[in-house]
Amino acid sequence: MAWKSAMTESAFLDVQDLHVAYGPIKAVRGCSLTVAEGETVAIVGANGAGKSTLLRAVCNLIPRASGKVFFAGSPTAVIPTHVLARRDGMLFVPEDRAVLRTLTVLENLRLSHDARPLGRPFEKATEEVFGHFPRLQERADQPAGSLSGGEQQMLTLARALVSPPRILLLDEPSLGLSPRLVREVYAILRDFRKRGMTMLLVEQNVRAALRFAHRAYVLRQGTIVQQGTGEALLADSGLFRQYLGVH
Amino acid sequence: MIQDYVMQTGVNILLAWSVYIILLSGSLSFANGGFMAIGAYVSAVLTVKFGVPLILAAVLAGGVAFLFGIGVAFPALRTRGLYLILVTVGIAASVRAMLESIDYVGGIQGFSGMSGASPWHVVALVVIVGAALWLLSRSRLQRILDAVREDELVAASMGINVLYLKLACFGAGAFIAAVAGSFYAHYILFVRPDEFGILASVYIVLYVVLGGMNNLWGALVGATIMTLAPELMRGLAQWRPTVFGLLIVVLLLVRPNGLLPFRIPTTGRAKRRAVKP
Examine residue A187 and state whether it is found in any structural domain, yes or no. no
Q: Give B78's Cβ-side CA count (13 Å radius).
A: 5
pLDDT tens digit sequence for B217-243: 999 999 999 899 888 887 787 887 888
End-to-end CA distance of chain A: 27
- H-run or E-run covering B169: helix B162-188
* pLDDT for res A1: 42
pLDDT at A94: 86
Of B213, B200, B153, the C-alpha closest to B22 is: B213
- Enclosing domain of residue A80: 1-89+169-181+192-247
Residue B158 near residue A111 (C-beta atoms within 8 A): yes
pTM score over 0.90:
no
CB contact under 8 A, A141 and B146: no
Q: Is A225 on the interface with B (CB under 8 A)?
A: no
Least Cα separation, residue A85 to chain B (angstroms): 5
CATH number of the domain where residue A241 is located: 3.40.50.300
DSSP 8-state assignment for residue B91:
H
A 107-146 near B (Cβ less than 8 A): 107, 110-112, 114-116, 123, 126-127, 130-131, 134, 137, 140-141
Model confidence at B109: pLDDT above 70: yes
Q: Taking the mean position of all CA atoms in its chain, how far away is CA A167? A: 8
Residues with Cβ within 8 Å of A152's Cβ and at least 6 positions away in sequence, in order, are A97, A99, A144
Instruction: Look up residue B60 and give its amino acid.
Output: L
Q: Strands, DSSP E only, in chain B?
A: 111-112, 190-191
Q: Residues B134-149: pLDDT tens digits?
A: 999 999 999 999 999 9
Q: Does A173 lie in the same domain as A159?
A: no
- Same domain, residue pair A61 and A155: no
Residues A196 and A232 in one domain: yes
Q: Is residue A129 situated within a structural domain? A: yes
Query: Across all residues in chain B, what is the average pLDDT?
Result: 90
Mean pLDDT of B174-192: 95
Q: How far apart are CA A153 and CA A132, in angstroms?
A: 13
Per-residue pLDDT tens over the stretch B18-30: 999 999 999 999 9
Side chain identity at B252, as an amino acid letter?
L
**Whether residues A114 and A210 fall in one domain:** no
Total number of domains in chain A:
2
Mutation for testing the A interface, residue in B150, B154, B273, B276 having most A CBs under 10 Å: B154
pLDDT recorded at residue B270: 54
Residue A143 CB neighbours (<10 A): 18
Cβ distance B274 to A141 less than 8 Å, yes or no, reads no
Q: Which of A92, A102, A169 to mutate to test the interface with B (most CBs of B within 10 A)?
A: A102
A70 and A6 together in one domain: yes
Residues A34 and A139 in one domain: no
- pLDDT tens, chain A, 247 aa long: 444 444 445 689 999 999 999 988 899 999 999 999 999 999 998 888 889 999 999 999 999 999 999 999 999 988 999 999 999 999 999 887 689 999 999 999 999 999 888 888 999 989 888 988 888 999 999 999 999 988 998 999 998 889 889 999 999 988 888 888 899 889 999 999 998 999 999 998 888 899 999 999 999 999 999 899 988 888 887 777 776 666 5
User: How large is the ipTM?
Assistant: 0.83
pLDDT-derived band at B273, boundaries 50, 70, 90: very low
pLDDT at B248 over 80: yes
CA-CA distances (angstroms) from residue B17 to A43, A198, B20, B129? Answer: 47, 45, 5, 8
Phi, psi of B77 (to 5 degrees): -75, 0
Tell me if A186 is assigned to some domain: no
A7 shares its domain with A61: yes
- The strand pairing partners of A91, in sequence order, are A168
Give the up-direction half-sphere exposure of residue B121: CA atoms within 13 A in the CB hemisphere: 22
A118 exposure class (CB count in 10 Å sphere: 0-12, 13-18, 19+): exposed
